[in-house]
Structure 1
Amino acid sequence: MGNSQQAGWCKKPASPMKTRAALEVVRSTTWTIVLLTSTAVTGATGINRVSAHLGHSAVMTCSNKTNITMVTWKTSPKTGRQCTLAYLIDSNKTEKINCSDRINWRSRPDWDHALEIQQVAMADEGNYTCEVVNADGNFHNPYHLTVLVYPRMALYCDDHGNPVCEAETEKPAAEISWVPQSNSTPTADSHSNGTVTVLSRFAARSSNGKNATCIVSHTTLNETKSIDCSSPHRYLILCIAIVLSFLIIIIFAAVIYCLKLHGYRFCRKTKPPDIVPTYPLQDDTVEVEPYTTYVQKENAIYNSVSDLTLRQNLPQGQLPAT
């Protein structure tokens, strides 16, 4: 009884054929996992990375295949609407759906399938895919566009002689610090193009803290600049300008006083000339002719009276000489 129970509990060893089959299953499973992992990694890293500076142009090319029947570009920006560009080879037709004028074919799509984005904006950042169709199937060429912003740093003195530091970068905002330390609080101003400007005005803890160093920290910009706004020449020039202004005013007032003292007048009133009436020539003739006639008549009368008187006074028989 005991021997039969022990015999029932004993297992026969597996055959070599079954062991080899199990090993093959494990090995194939392992290779499958490795292939899937490799494919996933390849797909994750197979995206073409393209970068373009803000305001410039970005160009993305498409894979060259033979016997192409259709080429399609599909855009998926981070913000904004998606658009589609398609070119049908057989009918030689193009279609453009929800695309702005800045996004178009680089040239003629019948011989160049590249996509061009003019005046790149921050909203254009995102994924772009070119799909080519031929007899062998569909082929995808993905891109990821990154928009770069030129960082800018400026350090200057304001009207009160205080150092001012500005930093314009893409988001996130840059960090500004001062040496020596400042009590000021930076202010940030965001722009529509995705950039942000940070301004910090140096406020020294001591009265002689006009010589300062600005430190800007950002992923795209790490720069340090120093400036001295306590130059004495600035106040010297201001004092000279004030003194010269007073001297000019005093000299001008003295010249005016001397001219008045010597009897000079800047403005003299002149009496308008007498206006002699003029008459037309015809009116003078009309007025002169009656006077001439009158004189002639008077002369004739006078001559007649003179002749009569002379005849009366002459002896008889003599005639006056004519």
Structure 2
Amino acid sequence: MKAGANMKIAKKTVCVFVLLTISKAARTAGLETVSVTVGNSFMLACPPNSNIIMVTWKINHKVGGACTLGYRADQNKIDRTNCSGSITWKPRSDQDPALEIQQVEVTHEGKYICEVVTTDGNFDKQYHLTVLVPPTLTLSCEGEGNAVCEAAAGKPAAQISWVPGSNSSLETKSHDNGTVTVLSRFTADSTNVTNTTCIVSHLAGNQSKSITCHPSNNSSNNLHIYITLCFLSIITLLAVIYYFKLHSDRLCHKTEPHEADPVDFPEDDTMEVEPYTTYVQKENTIYSSVSDVTLGKNLPQRTIASNVNDSTTLERERDTL
């Protein structure tokens, strides 16, 4: 039972998928792709018929809302809904209901459908409009002598090739408006390359530019720069070393203790005073001895003093010698 139910479900799924595929193929069978370069004007034609009753253009832009243009032959009247002034009927729409777009922009990209009602029946024509944006080509030399080619803001992305062929790198950058910038760096096989050509291939048209780069001159300039930088670095290093050495010497001189001034110790005073003390002691001893003798012999005091003075004089002379 379950196997039979699964088979029925599988058959229904296959039938739905086939019907959807046939329906999509029928819708896209009459779709025609048109490419227009930005800034140009162009026209889209409706199915040709001489018995036109009404014509309607239905436009679905890729970016922005839809717009509609309608024409009724019996009233010779044109209706416009949400369409810009650059989208309009071709002159004499009663004879040729073609659509004209002036000054094409990227925002005009999308699907355009023309529906015609005639006395012979209804007809339609579908277009898919693609807007091409040619890139801006710039060619320059880098500091290493490599050539750089840039195809900026192209739609679709451009392709870059070099003459002569050599090693190259490619970079791409997408922008919000659908354009793409492509950048290629050319590396020469030798330093003797005198001329390089960048070729940009694009649906809106091919472009090319040539340039001459000098890798040897650039290398010489870089060598001079490196030598100068090394020399300046050495001078700076020597200046720093001298600065620290100078300040370290000053610091050592500042921290070195001063020599102490000579100090007079009490012993020196004692040594200077000691001879005088010895002299006084000797004088007192002599005086005492004389006094004792005098008192024993009952001599007058003048004689004692004279003797003392003579003894003192003799003692001084002895000391002087």
What is the TM-score with the length of structure 1 in the denominator?
0.48
Higher Cα Rg: structure 1 or 2? Answer: 2
Task: Report which of the two has the higher share of helix.
Answer: 2
What is the TM-score with the length of structure 2 in the denominator?
0.48
